[in-house]
C-alpha cells in the first residue's frame, strides 16, 4: 500500500511520506534508497516532541498504518534535520505510547496500540534535580562507561569512528550554543556504546539518555565546562583511533571526574540561588 501525503503540520509547510510498497501480506517494506521522504525540519528545545507529534499525526490520519516500518534511525535524523539522539527519544516516546514496536535486527514498526507494553523509564526512577539522583547517575556512569570506551577501542568500525569525529566537530562548531553541543555530546557517547558491539550495553546507555541530557543542560553554563568536556572527548576519540583500550578507559574516567566536578559546581550555585531567593524578602522587611 502506498503512503499518501500527510496533513499540513504547520502554516505554509507540508510534510509527506513517499510510497512504501508492501513486499508481502502482513508486512510493509522500509523506505527504499532514492525514495523521496520529506519532513519539516524541527527547531525547538524539545526536538523529540516535535518528531513524535509529526509521526502521531500521520498515524491518526491513517497515512501510517499498522505494519508500516519507519526508516532507519540515521535516515530519520537526516530527514528531520536533528541528531540521532532526538530520533531515539522520539521512538522511545512512541513505544511508551504503544504506537510503535522495535525489533532487534528488523526495525521499528507501527502497531495497533492494543499490545502496549508499559516500559518503566529510568527517567521516572531517578530525579536528576535531586542530589541523590545525580549521585546515582554518576555511580552508574563510572561503572559502565570506562569499560564501554575500552570495548569500543577494541571493536569500533570505521563508521563508528566517523560518527564520533562528526560529533566532536559539531561540538567544536557549537561553542557556547547549548542545544547543538548537548545533542552532539549525547551522540558521541551513544556512538561509543554502539562501537562496543553489545546490544545490552547499547540498551542500558540508551535508557539513560534523558537523564544525561538533563545533566548536561544543568552543567553547560559552568565556566569552562564545554571546553573541558571537549578536551576529554578528543582524548577518548584519540584512544579509540589508536585501538588502545587502557588509554580509552583512563580517558573516560578522567572525563567522568570532570563531569562530576562540574555537576557539584552547578548544584552549589543552584542551592545558593535558592537560599538567596528565600532570605531576600525577609531581609527587605527587616530593613524597611
pLDDT (mean) for 158-171: 96
Q: Give the separation between CA 211 and CA 37, rounded to whole angstroms.
A: 31
Residue 264 and residue 191 in contact, taking contact as beta carbons nearer than 8 Å: no
Lowest model confidence (mean pLDDT) among 3-7, 32-36, 92-96, 258-262: 3-7
Burial of 143 (0-12, 13-18, 19+ CB in 10 A): exposed
Average pLDDT over the chain reads 77
Q: State yes or no: pLDDT of 60 exceeds 90.
A: no
Q: State yes or no: pLDDT of 257 exceeds 70.
A: yes
Q: State yes or no: pLDDT of 105 exceeds 80.
A: no
Q: What is the pTM of this model?
A: 0.60
How is 42-71 classified by DSSP, letter by letter? P-SSSHHHHHHHHHHHHHHTTSS-TTPBPP
Cell of 210: 534523558
Cell of 43: 527547531
Q: Give the separation between CA 42 and CA 54, rounded to whole angstroms.
A: 10
Other Cβ atoms less than 10 A from the Cβ of 282: the count is 9
pLDDT of residue 42: 58
Q: Give the separation between CA 151 and CA 205, rounded to whole angstroms.
A: 14
Amino acid at each position: 500500500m502506498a503512503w499518501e501525503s500527510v496533513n499540513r503540520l504547520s502554516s505554509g509547510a507540508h510534510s509527506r511520506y513517499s510510497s512504501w510498497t508492501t513486499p508481502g501480506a502482513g508486512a510493509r517494506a522500509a523506505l527504499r534508497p532514492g525514495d523521496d521522504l520529506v519532513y519539516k525540519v524541527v527547531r525547538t528545545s524539545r526536538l523529540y516532541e516535535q518528531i513524535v507529534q509529526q509521526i502521531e499525526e500521520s498515524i491518526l490520519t491513517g497515512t501510517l498504518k499498522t505494519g508500516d516500518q519507519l526508516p532507519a534511525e540515521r535516515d530519520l535524523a537526516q530527514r528531520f534535520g536533528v541528531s540521532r539522539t532526538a530520533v531515539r527519544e522520539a521512538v522511545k516516546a512512541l513505544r511508551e505510547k504503544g504506537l510503535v514496536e522495535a525489533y532487534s535486527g528488523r526495525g521499528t514498526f507501527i502497531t495497533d496500540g492494543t499490545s502496549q507494553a508499559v516500559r518503566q523509564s529510568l527517567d521516572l526512577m531517578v530525579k536528576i534535580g535531586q542530589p541523590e539522583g545525580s549521585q546515582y547517575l554518576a555511580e552508574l556512569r563510572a561503572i559502565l562507561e570506562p569499560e564501554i570506551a575500552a570495548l569500543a577501542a577494541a571493536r569500533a568500525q570505521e563508521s563508528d569512528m566517523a560518527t564520533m569525529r562528526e560529533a566532536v566537530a559539531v561540538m567544536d562548531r557549537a561553542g557556547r550554543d547549548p542545544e547543538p553541543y548537548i545533542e552532539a555530546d549525547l551522540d558521541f557517547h551513544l556512538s561509543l556504546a554502539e562501537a562496543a558491539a553489545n546490544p545490552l550495553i547499547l540498551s542500558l546507555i540508551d535508557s539513560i539518555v534523558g537523564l544525561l541530557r538533563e545533566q548536561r543542560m544543568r552543567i553547560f553554563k559552568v565556566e569552562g565546562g564545554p571546553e573541558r568536556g571537549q578536551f576529554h572527548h578528543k582524548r577518548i576519540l584519540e584512544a579509540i583511533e589508536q585501538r588502545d583500550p587502557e588509554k580509552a578507559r583512563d580517558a573516560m574516567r578522567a572525563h567522568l571526574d570532570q563531569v562530576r566536578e562540574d555537576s557539584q559546581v552547578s548544584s552549589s550555585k543552584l542551592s545558593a540561588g535558592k537560599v538567596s531567593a528565600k532570605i531576600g524578602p525577609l531581609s527587605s522587611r527587616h530593613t524597611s
